[in-house]
């Protein structure tokens, strides 16, 4: 058994090639040969992922704060601590903090690395404004 106190978690900054704004992540699963990967991700207010998908889908568990998620239909959904979001395999989507609150979620995936679309989530997409057009 291994206990890591919160104060000893090691947070690494997210890449500017895959995130907008300030994001940190910390690995929680330990064995790279196991099929499930668990990562804690912390977003500052306004920060979010680029557009991406996951080969075998993704479960997000919101641990703290308030955030939002979006997919190709242009709508955004507010998410908050305790919420669970499931994205099916291959569905393009994004997730991040709300404009005014930080948000930390657990990302639970299997099937290998995230597929990044190399496209950021524009301010219009982040605000949900694209739906109104």
3-state secondary structure of 84: strand
* Identity of the residue, 58 or 98, whose beta carbon is nearer to Mn ion in the bound complex: 58
Question: How far, in Å, CA of 122 to CA of 119, rounded?
Answer: 9
3-state secondary structure of 127: helix
58 binds Mn ion (CB under 5 A): yes
Rg (CA), the chain: 14
* Identity of the residue, 4 or 15, whose beta carbon is nearer to Mn ion in the bound complex: 15
Stretch that binds Mn ion, among 17-25, 32-40, 58-66, 96-104 (CB under 5 A): 58-66
* Identity of the residue, 54 or 66, whose beta carbon is nearer to Mn ion in the bound complex: 54
> Binding residues for Mn ion, per CB under 5 A?
58
């Amino acid at each position: 058994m291994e206990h890591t106190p919160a104060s000893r978690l090691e947070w690494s900054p997210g890449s500017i090639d895959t995130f907008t704004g300030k994001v940190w992540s910390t690995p929680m699963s330990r064995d790279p040969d196991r099929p499930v990967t668990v990562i804690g991700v912390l977003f500052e207010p306004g920060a979010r992922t680029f557009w991406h998908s996951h080969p075998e889908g993704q479960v997000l568990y919101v641990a703290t704060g308030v955030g939002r998620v979006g997919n190709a239909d242009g709508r955004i959904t507010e998410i908050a601590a305790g919420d669970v979001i499931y994205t099916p395999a291959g569905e393009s989507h994004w997730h991040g903090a709300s404009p005014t609150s930080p948000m930390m979620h657990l990302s639970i995936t299997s099937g290998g690395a995230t597929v990044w679309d190399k496209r950021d989530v524009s301010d219009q997409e982040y605000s949900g404004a694209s739906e109104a057009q």
